[in-house]
Structure 1
Amino acid sequence: MSDSFHAATGGSSPLLAVEGLTKVYPTGKKALGGIDVVIDRPQLVAVIGSSGAGKSTFIRCINRLVEPTSGRILLNGEDIVALDRKGLRAARRRIGMIFQEYNLVERLSVMQNVLSGRLGYVGLIASLRWRFPPEDIQAAFALLDRVGLDGYHNQRADALSGGQRQRVGIARALMQRPDLLLLDEPTASLDPKTSRQIMRLVRELVAERQTPAIINIHDVALARAYADRIIGLRDGIVVFDAEASALTEAALTEIYGAEDWAPAPSEDDDEPALIGMRP
């Protein structure tokens, strides 16, 4: 690891260290141009930027759903990029992923979807027969209660609302007992009220479980209201990395380009338009 990382973390190994991360697609398009990011404590980190800035690529490189072109991604000191297929499978158990489109098995029950977070641990035969240890089942019930889905365990996933499906996805990711959570635009398909509820839930879970989370998000208002830290990408480069309260109009212009960043007037008293407001 570079001297700059040691300096940033006091010489200790950070939870996550991304060093010189690049991604160039076969077409020649450079999605990431050398990203350095350190997360040395549990916090909710929002990644913002224009469409095509590299947000989703960055998130997906961390668990190698997208293969990096170069660079290192160290999770608790282990370089994810250098792992072979078997090592990557083991590492992905420690990285919970929450998707925009939920990625649930629609015909299965809520409980079965949540328990699928343990498939990497119970063995092939047991997983095919949906046989899980009692402690896993108890943990799944506890998580469903925590995410606001107590009593929904027998519901089919396709009978749920979008917000409920996203809560199932969060519970499934937490069943992995991950060291890191990745969220790829989890509120993009949700209405404003449900989006706020999901962001509030994620922030609370990060604090309760002391698990860092990185969220790729388009909504600047949500990022400022709920994230501890914001990373701004522009053309695959980090142009802003600071606490959410430091995201000024000048910083927004650096990330997105020139615009009038004054808050839009709100027609709904329950949804304040002031983007700096924390609920």
Structure 2
Amino acid sequence: MLTVEALNKIYKTGDKALSDVTFTVPKGQVVGLIGPSGAGKSTLIRCINRLVEPTSGVVKLNDQNITGLSNTALRRVRRRIGMIFQEYALVERLTVMENVLSGRLGYVPFWRSFTRRFPGEDIAKAFRLLDRVGLSAHADKRADALSGGQRQRVGIARALEQDPELLLIDEPTASLDPKTSRQIMRLLVEICNESGLPAIINIHDVVLAQQFTDRIIGLQAGKIVFDGKPSELTEQVLTQIYGEEDWTAMRKGAAEDVAEENAAAAEAKRLVAAL
């Protein structure tokens, strides 16, 4: 379980990015983190694993206080936190398999990582994960030969290779088309449900957050202004978080995209059955 208590972040400029942020995420729950640009979403995710140092407050992972750890102890804890990035953060010249195995760098001796000689059980697990994310046929391809959706799947497999106790996911669909975005969100939620992994997904697409997450936290100017079920995210609440917008039209457009995708899938099945 993740526990965040009275978390604050004030930059040297005096800007307050987070203000008394408090919440918990139990095992297996997928939380969608929404809010306008500058609301503090990315800062919150990075404060949780201390890529950004919080000014005050407490972050606990399964009762271990992360905020008070030394650098050495923090490196050990970060092995338990899988991070999935918007821009994938892959090593382009390495193969898909090598990128996935980089999730074990915190566990193996330096000589193994330098020579890329990972234990057999790590390699076997990487193959299983690539199969799970639908990339088993691409293990030997270079990362720069993949599509955006495939790169994001590699990032998911790499994070899972760490054996994480928590997933932090920063804008996983920002660079993807609507269909691929839904596929990636569906995959993330399925994996969390299968493994009992808690996850926080910083996501700009409100409709995707409502469709796939268990819970939504809305940030506005560094403060939590909504914390509840996706079904409770009314137009009034969305206006409080983002300001005035035609939310009905936005949801209608998203529903039309989903309907078009479903119709295409049904037609493909019909054609296959007719062969």
Aligned residue identity for 2:33: V
The corresponding residue for 1:115 is 101
User: Quick one: which of 199, 209, 212 aligns to 1:223?
Assistant: 209
User: Quick one: which of 68, 75, 80 aligns to 1:94?
Assistant: 80
The reply on whether 1:50 has 2:39 as its aligned counterpart is no
Moved more, 252-261 or 227-236: 252-261
**1:74-107 residue CA offsets vs partner (Å, 9 max, x unmatched):** 0011111100000110000000000000000000
User: Quick one: which of 115, 138, 141 aligns to 1:129?
Assistant: 115
* Whole-angstrom CA distance in 2 between matches of 1:229 and 1:267: 19
* Whole-angstrom CA distance in 1 between matches of 2:119 and 2:111: 13
TM-score by length of 2: 0.92
Structure in which a larger fraction of residues adopt helix: 2
2:207 touches 2:254 (CA, 8 Å); kept in 1? no
* Whole-angstrom CA distance in 2 between matches of 1:76 and 1:199: 25
Give the secondary-structure state (helix, strand or coil) at the position aligned to 2:248.
coil
User: Quick one: which of 165, 171, 176 aligns to 2:157?
Assistant: 171
**1:86-145 residue CA offsets vs partner (Å, 9 max, x unmatched):** 011000000000000000000000000000000111111111111111111110000000
Moved more, 261-270 or 145-154: 261-270
| Structure 2: runs of 5+ lacking an equivalent | 261-275
The corresponding residue for 2:258 is 271
Give the secondary-structure state (helix, strand or coil) at the position aligned to 2:97.
helix
Give the secondary-structure state (helix, strand or coil) at the position aligned to 1:262.
helix
* Whole-angstrom CA distance in 2 between matches of 1:83 and 1:70: 14
User: Quick one: which of 235, 239, 242 aligns to 1:253?
Assistant: 239
Cα gap change, 1:63/1:268 in structure 2, threshold over 3 Å: closer, same or farther?
closer
RMSD (Å), alpha carbons? 1.4
**1:223-274 residue CA offsets vs partner (Å, 9 max, x unmatched):** 000000000000000000011111111111121123332134539854259x
Moved more, 146-155 or 262-271: 262-271
* Whole-angstrom CA distance in 1 between matches of 2:182 and 2:156: 15
2:167 touches 2:200 (CA, 8 Å); kept in 1? yes
| Structure 1: runs of 5+ lacking an equivalent | 1-14, 274-279
Aligned residue identity for 2:132: R
